[in-house]
Structure 1
Amino acid sequence: MAAPMIELADVTHRYGAQVALDGVGLTVRSGEFVALVGGSGSGKTTLLKTINGLVRPDDGRIAVDGEDVAAVAPHLLRRRIGYVFQEVGLFPHLTVAENIGVTPKLLGWGPPRIAARVRTLLDLVALPGDVADRPPSALSGGQRQRVGVARALAAEPGVMLMDEPFGALDPLTRDQLGADYLALHRQLGLTTVMVTHDIAEAVLLADRLVVMRQGRILADGPPADLLAAASDPAVRALLEAPRRQADRLRERLGG
């Protein structure tokens, strides 16, 4: 069994009187793809942000690759962890190549090494090399999201955190980009934790689903195992949603 890459032990966080995380314990092993699912306000994004120090928990311990994240300067921690989110957040005044090279430049990489890394990453995320000199505004939404993935991979992180990374894309682009990212995850041996509201997407991409509600983990395991063993009606309803949608689609399409 692979070694733990991410460990959360009894992690609690509050926003004022609101409890966002309530004694959460979670272990993600090296090479796993874990999807955090649940309703709005269940604590998914807060949990994700505790891993790279964007949120500091009130209680508990978080370790990445065996190192307590509280002992690492936040900016150094984030350079070791890729982070992709729905809004992409590319710098509009920089070219695609300059966006991808931001973190390597901060790490002191020389221009030739950065340029080589940009070429490699554009190929990995299935973008033509000639986009390197374009501004983000010249790209489609799907292309910008691919650049966001490339930028997150630029400094060769072992861990990728993804917060609704494909949510703003049209269904076809979303499906293709999800499949392409899964191939990258496997090819590069990444450890990925993804937040998504799309249960079908979670089932198709992730090795494990972590179902959250009111800051707690209700269920954790491979999708098929969770559905077979789900005793909580809310967990079962959530996991059965893709099947119900597929049945309705077949009815509507006459299949």
Structure 2
Amino acid sequence: MAKTCLITGASSGMGKTTALHYAAKGWQVFAVARSADKLAELAASNSNVKPVSLDVTDSVALANWTAGLPAGQKFDAVILNAGTCEYVEATDLDLAAFERTFAVNVQGVVACTRYLLPLLNKGSHPTLAIVSSMSHFFPFTRAEAYGASKAAVAYFAESLRVDLADTDINVCLIEPGFIDTPLTRKNDFEMPFLMAPEDAAKRIFKGISDGKTRLRFPRRLSFVLKTLGLLPYNLRNKIASKMKQQ
């Protein structure tokens, strides 16, 4: 019997390529996103893809959808990938931007976990994968909303793993660097070690298959950011400020 996974944010970018990669491997994929049109195109490209038009920030809709699933529907992997990014100005913080960013990146992840965790196929070592970002490793300019949301969701995943340690559920924290997606194409700055979404999808599939609890890619960017994090606090801040001025 084919394994089943659910992927949020599956209509574009890394979510789309990951959904297609799983489908190509013979998995039945529940592809979740807001855009019904894009999901229909995705499903038309592979019969293993089941489109689910759903907004992860709508907890009532999430509850109703999960409640309406056929009896016995289980998932071997759930990948919470849906995310957004808005940059802000420190001297005039946009509260609405923070609300929108946290609604998707944090509350959406929490709500999906609330309603999908009971549907994991216990006994088969299922995986709940949560996508954060390397952005919270280092203080980047104008990233107060995005970086803080990714730090929050990373902590959520780590704490969740502790509380699920006595189950057979693997909590995998995924922390990618810059991936070439419609979201990152809006950036007006250089993105070092930019990775194709297809390569990211392959790493996610392999990492989850291998039972990894943490995935960071590309490794070169991870090494650079971790090294910067080891510097004395004041020196790290000076480097961050110089990056801002470039």
Same fold per superposition (TM over 0.5): no
Relative contact order, higher structure (CA 8 A, sep 6+): 1
Please, what TM-score do these two structures have when normalized by structure 2?
0.37
Which structure has the greater CA radius of gyration? 1
Please, what TM-score do these two structures have when normalized by structure 1?
0.36
Which is strand-richer, 1 or 2? Answer: 1
